[in-house]
Copies of this chain bind each other. A is one copy, B any other.
């Protein structure tokens, strides 16, 4: 497997486009993007678990019930959630996309991100979608158009091999832009030319999402609009994957690489973030326990504030583990901080170690830092991603220990 360029256009037969149609008040920012496959794809998606679901989520679920899709139409600037005429406008958006791209309305995935509770100005989409220029190798403009408070475009693609056939898989996404992903909308669109059944896409997606997007800080706290879709058009020419065989595993792994990369990018681009924080818990009695602990650490405002201050305040790590609800032996906890500058143990057997504060500071002053916790209760292991907590709020908390 190797990393390549191209995002959602890296796989054969996928075009993308973007434009400003007038949903946003800004006169420059693009607010509408579309992705199109040359042929109908097998497809699957995962959605927000929020009880309040945006209309495009409900419509997309309907359209994907048959496991088929050919295009995506996505707008920024308005979430079409809790909004007047929500379903009606989501349908009009799908119809506008279908008409512009010449595909069946039922094969259009609709997604939205932006303000909640205001009527989607769907007329702007209807008026201008037909003008959008769809091109191969045009992923970047689409990636830009779905950004809201994101500061960086988030894109990745990989090339991998299935039984001698070269396949591609690529994706674009937008992050919450917030410290916790509960606060904004996570949208992710993935395309592949690998031939794979809807059912096996779904299986791989569910397996991977638990280990990638759902491990970016606190899971469960999801917006009304979160969505991650996969479109597979089969144009690579491999024999269609329909069972959990080695080919499936190769596909799933490639998909996981794409999803994990995008998840890390979302964490690193949390609003105001100055560094990516990777928390790994190992030696837990099972993976679930490790995940609960790692998420609690990654989601702790005080730990995040300490990371901003490059302060090796491991007490906050233990505190976050303690209130996580997970069972563990508090007297058998090893905490280490690491980065490209090295690694340092700061707490062993649940008690503070004498450690080199200058080295710890140097380690934690990097763009990417790790908090590694080792228990002695089993082989459960999980990694979660988060970012530091910056700004004036942190001026108060970042240096509380000294």
Task: Point out residues on A near B: beta carbons under 8 Å.
Answer: 49-53, 79, 81-84, 115-118, 149, 177-180, 182-183, 220-224, 271-272, 300-302, 313-316, 318-319, 321-325, 327-328, 330, 347, 350-352, 389-393, 396-397, 400-401
What CA separation (Å) do A396 and B222 show in the bound complex?
19
Asked whether B393 lies within 8 Å of A330 as measured between CB atoms, the reply is: no
Residues of the B chain whose Cβ atoms lie less than 8 Å from the Cβ of A322: 50-53, 224
What CA separation (Å) do A307 and B98 show in the bound complex?
41
Asked whether A301 lies within 8 Å of B391 as measured between CB atoms, the reply is: no
Asked whether A116 lies within 8 Å of B323 as measured between CB atoms, the reply is: no
Residues of the B chain whose Cβ atoms lie less than 8 Å from the Cβ of A319: 50, 52, 81, 116, 223-224
Asked whether B82 lies within 8 Å of A347 as measured between CB atoms, the reply is: yes
19 contacts between A and B (CB under 8 A): A50-B319, A50-B322, A51-B324, A51-B328, A52-B318, A79-B315, A82-B315, A115-B401, A116-B319, A117-B314, A221-B323, A222-B323, A224-B322, A271-B396, A271-B397, A272-B393, A389-B393, A390-B393, A392-B392
Other-chain residue from B52, B84, B224, B302 in contact with A352 (beta carbon distance below 8 A)? B84
A55 to chain B, nearest CB (A): 12
What CA separation (Å) do A315 and B82 show in the bound complex?
7
How many copies of the chain does the oligomer comprise?
Answer: 2
What CA separation (Å) do A177 and B327 show in the bound complex?
28
A88 to chain B, nearest CB (A): 13
Closest B residue to A224 using CB positions:
B319
What CA separation (Å) do A386 and B323 show in the bound complex?
19
A251 to chain B, nearest CB (A): 31
Closest B residue to A390 using CB positions:
B393
Asked whether B220 lies within 8 Å of A325 as measured between CB atoms, the reply is: yes
Other-chain residue from B84, B117, B221, B393 in contact with A393 (beta carbon distance below 8 A)? B393
What CA separation (Å) do A183 and B317 show in the bound complex?
11
Residues of the B chain whose Cβ atoms lie less than 8 Å from the Cβ of A84: 351-352
What CA separation (Å) do A347 and B82 show in the bound complex?
9
Residues A400 and B115 in contact in the complex (CB < 8 Å), given A352-B83, A392-B391: yes
